[in-house]
Amino acid sequence: MVLVTAVAVLLTMRSLRLIMVFFRMRQQRMDKAKEWLDKINPNHLWKNQKGYYYFLLGSAEVQNKSLSQSEKNFRQALSYGLRLDHDKAAVYLNLAVISANKRKKREAITLLNEAKKYDTKGYLKNDIKQVSKMVNSI
């Protein structure tokens, strides 16, 4: 029983820090979220957890106005994979915003279409409309 408990605790500790980052970001405390992200070693995460790690890291970098670094992190999140479709839609939407800020209209439209494809439940419908207006004004 001790061995089973030890394994359960180790498995929980791997994802506990990611849960704390989600919690801090939900509270809009990006500085604390970034501190928790800095404590995580992505090499110790499983493949699907790495996707969410880079997704959160990219979201934190967008707040710090580091667009090139956040774009790199979002693309890594997609390469590792995200489980939920609305998370993929959020990544594509963020990439579309970054492309629009770099004045790459064609790429931004392609990324927006990907975001629409993955937003099956309509969670990001209003955000997609706002970004498409921004892209069309380029």
**30-64 confidence digits (pLDDT tens):** 888 888 888 888 887 887 788 888 988 898 888 77
On whether the CB atoms of residues 80 and 50 are closer than 8 A, the answer is: yes
Question: How confident is the model at residue 8, as a pLDDT?
Answer: 67
Q: What backbone phi and psi angles, to 5 degrees, belong to 40?
A: -90, 130
Question: How confident is the model at residue 10, as a pLDDT?
Answer: 59
Q: What is the mean pLDDT of residues 92-101?
A: 93
| Cβ contacts of 44 within 8 Å, gap of 6 or more | 14
Question: How confident is the model at residue 111, as a pLDDT?
Answer: 94
Question: How confident is the model at residue 118, as a pLDDT?
Answer: 93
- The pLDDT-based confidence of 110 (bands split at 50, 70, 90) is very high
pTM assigned to the model = 0.83
Structure tokens at 6: 């030890």
- The pLDDT-based confidence of 99 (bands split at 50, 70, 90) is very high
Question: How confident is the model at residue 126, as a pLDDT?
Answer: 92
pLDDT at 138 over 90: no
